Amino acid sequence: RSPHAVYQTLPGAGMGEEEEERSTTLETLTRFPDSMLGAMFRGPRPAHTDRRGHYFIDRDGKAFRHILNFLRLGRLDLPEGYSELALLRAEADFYQIRPLLAELARLVAERRRHRANAVLHADVDCQERLLHFTVRRGPQNYGLSTCPLRVFTANVFCTDGQFLELLGGSAHPSVSVEEGELPEVEYAKQKVRPLRMAPPDGREVLTAAEFLEEVLKTALDQGFRVDSVFPDPEDILNSRSLRFVRH
C-alpha cells in the first residue's frame, strides 16, 4: 500500500505546540481493525487532512512512535529505562489497541514485581587529605593555597532504579566535603562534588554518617529492611557497608 504521512502534536519549547511527521502504510495503521486507530483509516477519509492529504492527529507524537513500532513489529520494544509508561498507556487506550494495552499491563505488573523484590547495597569509604592549588590574585599574580578536605566515596547499587532518584543520584562514586575555602572550579579539576539530597530538601551531606543515615531512612521508608552491616552491626552509622533487602 502507499505510505500515509501522519502528523502528531508535540509540546513546543515556546508557546503552542510543534508538529511531528511520521510516515507509515495503511496496512500498518489498520493492523488491528477493531481498534479506533484502525477504524480511523478504514472507509471514508478522516476529516483532519491537510492539502497534501496527510492526516493530522492531535495526540502525543513521541508516544505514537512506540505505537507505530508495535503495529509494525507485533511486540513492545521500549528503550532501556523508559519512564513514560503512563502516557503510553493513555495513548494506547485512546486508540483502543487492545493487544498493546495487554502488553503494557504485563510490563507494568513485571516492573511492580521487580520493585517489590529489590536489593540495596551502600558502601562508603572516607579519606582526609590536604589539597594544594593555585589561586589567581591579580594580573600575572598567582599564589599557592591549601585546603583540608574530607573526601568520601559513596557507591550505591540498587535493583530499584527509582530508589536512586530518591537519593538525588547518590550513586555518584566520588564526593568531596569542604572543610576550608575551596573555589568552585577546583571541584571539577579534582573530579569531586558536594553531595546534596534530592529536592525539596536539597541539603548538603557533610559526613559519611549523614549519608548512611539518609540511605537508612529512605530505605526503611521504601519498605527495605537491614540485611547486613559491616564491620560492626551495633554501630550502623559508622559502618562502611550496608545491605538491605525488600520482599
* pLDDT tens profile 87-111: 999 999 999 999 999 999 999 888 8
pLDDT given for residue 134 in this prediction: 87
Residue 225 has pLDDT above 70, yes or no: yes
Integer Cα distance of 41 and 39 in angstroms: 5
CA distances from 192 to 23, 46, 69, 170 (A): 47, 58, 42, 13
Say how many residues make up the chain: 247
Enter the pTM of the model: 0.53
Residue 12 has pLDDT above 50, yes or no: no
CA distances from 14 to 11, 18, 81, 86 (A): 9, 9, 27, 25
Residue 233 has pLDDT above 60, yes or no: yes
Integer Cα distance of 123 and 37 in angstroms: 51
Question: Which span out of 112-116, 120-124, 211-215 was modeled with the highest average pLDDT?
Answer: 120-124
CA angle 181/170/205 to nearest 5° reads 40
Which residue has 499491563 as its cell numbers? 105
pLDDT given for residue 3 in this prediction: 53
**How much is the mean pLDDT over the chain?**
80
Q: Which of 8-12, 92-96, 209-213 has the lowest mean pLDDT?
A: 8-12
Would you give the distance in Å from CA 148 to the centre of its chain? 35
Residue 81 has pLDDT above 60, yes or no: yes
Residues pairing with 24 in the sheet: 4
Q: Is 224 within 8 Å of 118 (Cβ atoms)?
A: yes
Tens-digit pLDDT profile for residues 145-189: 888 777 777 788 888 877 777 765 544 434 444 445 677 787 778
Q: Which of 4-13, 43-52, 210-219 has the lowest mean pLDDT?
A: 4-13
